[in-house]
Amino acid sequence: MKFVIVGKGNAETEAGALPSQELVDDMHAFNESLVKAGVLLAAEGLHPSSHGARISYSDGSATVIDGPFAEAKELIAGFWLIQVKSREEAVQWALRVPVPRGHEGVGLDVWQVFDPSDVPDDTMPPRARERERALRERLGAHDPAG
């Protein structure tokens, strides 16, 4: 099962403040432990929302809204993509993410990534399943159904 651990933003991350060397070292050690356990698929920090855009849809048309966005606590500062055996294991890894004291407002979300194997065979037409498998193969992704 794949899970994404999403690190929430705060005023510091939105201001583009770089983390302390201690936090960088702690994050590196955490990432190394994920690698050593064989569960890390990807991990990245994100630039502040001032470097991003949001796309909003209304009546069939898209509107692009440039950042920054108002609610820092609703924004994402970074993520880890992990592959583990259960939601509980994903939560246990998330609990190990180093968060320095005094960083109230920083939080994590743990979300299971939807996978084609989550769809019962009888609800996805064979052609659609084959197209999905072929696309994942081209991307070098593992197809748990195949």
Confidence (pLDDT) at 119:
72
Q: What is the DSSP letter of 134?
A: H
Confidence (pLDDT) at 127:
84
Q: How far apart are CA 73 and CA 68, in angstroms?
A: 13
Confidence (pLDDT) at 142:
55
Confidence (pLDDT) at 145:
43
Contact 90, 82 (CB under 8 A): yes
Strand order in 40-45's β-sheet? 40-45, 76-83, 2-8, 108-112
Confidence (pLDDT) at 146:
42
Confidence (pLDDT) at 105:
59
Confidence (pLDDT) at 134:
84
Regarding pTM above 0.85, the answer is: no
Rounded average pLDDT per 10-residue block, the chain, 146 residues: 92 86 94 98 93 93 91 82 97 92 76 81 78 81 49
